């Protein structure tokens, strides 16, 4: 009986040992396989409002695909669109509006069937944390408000959304003497943070990552076109498979969780 217990225990120990060895070999094999994969660099042209989330995703992806280097070109969606149209090298485009993606698709610069509507954002009115004089959009017309920062309305989606919302409220024309326009949403945020302007309109996600501003009011839903973020692989990409893989990664549940951490709403 005692010998039988010893034999049984020995068999179990050996089984566990072989299982560990087998897993170790699989891990080693996977590591070697990844190490043998060629080095690839993917360039992503992305809206400035995506910077914080995309930087974290870049770090996570490097752990999963050590042979792939992700480089970013952040800016206003309109500027990035123009760069791509003029032949600037890029593998992936992620816009803060449909307008710029549609323009590239109409010029046949987007890889067929690669476009996904990935995220949605909200537009908010912000001031510095110590500002107590602004409580609503209607306060923008007050004589005490000297400067209102908006994104440039032709090339910066948040500027376009802001203009739509302010026009819906009947405020846009009334504040033309005090509006100043920024090259992208990050610049609007910086101006409010430093006190260069009294108030600004940014995405909810930009306000969320700053400890120097506060949200006064969210722009009313329906007062502006939904701020949907599409992503697509570009037709001239030299690394289509790797680009598709990265888009799949940021579109996965794990990728969407990172975006949601920064205040975006992930679309299904």
**HEC string of the chain?**
CHHHHHHHHHHHHHHHHHHHHHHHHHHHHHHHHHHCCCCEEEEEEEEHHHHHHHHHHHHHHHHHCCCEEEEEEEECHHHHHHHHHCCCCCCEEECCCHHHHHHHHHCCCECCCCCEEEEEECEEEEEECCCCCCCCHHHHHCCCCCCEEEECCCCCHHHHHHHHHHHHCCCHHHHCCCEEEECCHHHHHHHHHHCCCCEEEEEHHHHHCCCCEEEEEECCCCCCCCEEEEEEEECCCCCHHHHHHHHHHHHCHHHHHHHHHCCCEECC
User: What b/e string do you get for 168-177 counting C-beta neighbours within 10 Å, with b at 16 or more?
Assistant: ebebbeebee
Mean pLDDT by 10 residues, the chain (268 residues): 52 50 48 70 98 98 97 98 98 98 98 97 98 95 97 96 98 98 98 98 97 97 97 98 98 98 96
Residue 136, domain member (yes or no): yes
The pLDDT assigned to 4 comes to: 54
Question: Do 177 and 202 lie in a common domain?
Answer: yes
The pLDDT assigned to 37 comes to: 82
Token code pair at residue 42:
């993917």
Question: Do 111 and 139 lie in a common domain?
Answer: no
Q: In what order do the strands lie in the sheet with 199-203?
A: 179-182, 148-151, 199-203, 123-128, 213-218
Q: How many domains in the chain?
A: 2
Question: Do 129 and 201 lie in a common domain?
Answer: yes
The pLDDT assigned to 9 comes to: 52
Question: Do 186 and 237 lie in a common domain?
Answer: no
Answer yes or no: are the C-beta atoms of 141 and 111 closer than 8 Å: no
Residue 35, domain member (yes or no): no
Question: Do 160 and 97 lie in a common domain?
Answer: no
Question: Do 191 and 139 lie in a common domain?
Answer: yes
Residue 4, domain member (yes or no): no
Residue 3, domain member (yes or no): no
The pLDDT assigned to 2 comes to: 47
Residue 32, domain member (yes or no): no
Question: Do 214 and 128 lie in a common domain?
Answer: yes
Claim: this prediction has a pTM higher than 0.75: yes
Q: Which residues are annotated as a binding site for molybdate?
A: 49, 77, 185, 203
Distance (Å, rounded) from C-alpha 266 to C-alpha 116?
11
The pLDDT assigned to 94 comes to: 99
Query: What backbone torsions phi and psi does residue 170 show, to the nearest 5 degrees?
Result: 75, 25
Distance (Å, rounded) from C-alpha 239 to C-alpha 219?
40
How far the first Cα of the chain sits from its last, in Å, is 61
Residue 175, domain member (yes or no): yes
Distance (Å, rounded) from C-alpha 173 to C-alpha 199?
17
Question: Do 115 and 129 lie in a common domain?
Answer: no
Q: Which residues are annotated as a binding site?
A: 49, 77, 185, 203
Residue 8, domain member (yes or no): no
Question: Do 116 and 127 lie in a common domain?
Answer: no
Question: Do 236 and 114 lie in a common domain?
Answer: yes
Residue 2, domain member (yes or no): no
Answer yes or no: are the C-beta atoms of 91 and 233 closer than 8 Å: yes
Give the domain range for residue 62.
40-120+228-266
The enclosing domain of 58 has a CATH number of 3.40.190.10
């Amino acid at each position: 009986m005692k010998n039988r217990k010893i034999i049984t225990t020995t068999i179990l120990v050996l089984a566990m040992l072989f299982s560990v060895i087998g897993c170790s070999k699989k891990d080693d094999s996977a590591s070697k396989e990844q190490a043998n994969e060629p080095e690839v660099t993917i360039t992503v042209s992305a809206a400035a409002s995506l910077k914080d989330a995309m930087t974290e995703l870049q770090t996570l992806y490097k752990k999963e695909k050590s042979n792939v280097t992700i480089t970013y070109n952040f800016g206003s969606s309109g500027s990035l669109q123009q760069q791509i149209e003029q032949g600037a090298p890029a593998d992936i485009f992620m816009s803060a509006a449909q307008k710029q993606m549609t323009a590239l698709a109409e010029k046949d610069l987007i890889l067929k069937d690669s476009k996904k509507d990935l995220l949605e954002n909200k537009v908010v009115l912000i001031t510095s944390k110590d500002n107590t004089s602004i409580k609503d959009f209607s306060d923008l017309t007050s004589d005490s408000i000297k400067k209102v920062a908006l994104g440039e309305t032709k090339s910066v989606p948040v500027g376009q959304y802001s203009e739509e919302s302010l026009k819906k409220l009947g405020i846009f024309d009334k504040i033309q003497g005090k509006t100043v326009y920024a090259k992208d949403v990050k610049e609007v945020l910086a101006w409010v943070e430093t006190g260069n302007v009294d108030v600004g309109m940014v995405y909810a996600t930009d306000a969320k990552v700053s400890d120097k501003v506060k949200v006064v009011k969210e722009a009313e839903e329906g007062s502006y076109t939904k701020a949907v973020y599409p992503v697509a692989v570009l037709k001239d990409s030299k690394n289509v498979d790797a680009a598709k893989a990265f888009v799949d990664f940021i579109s996965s549940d794990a990728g969407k969780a990172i975006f949601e951490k920064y205040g975006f709403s992930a679309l299904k």
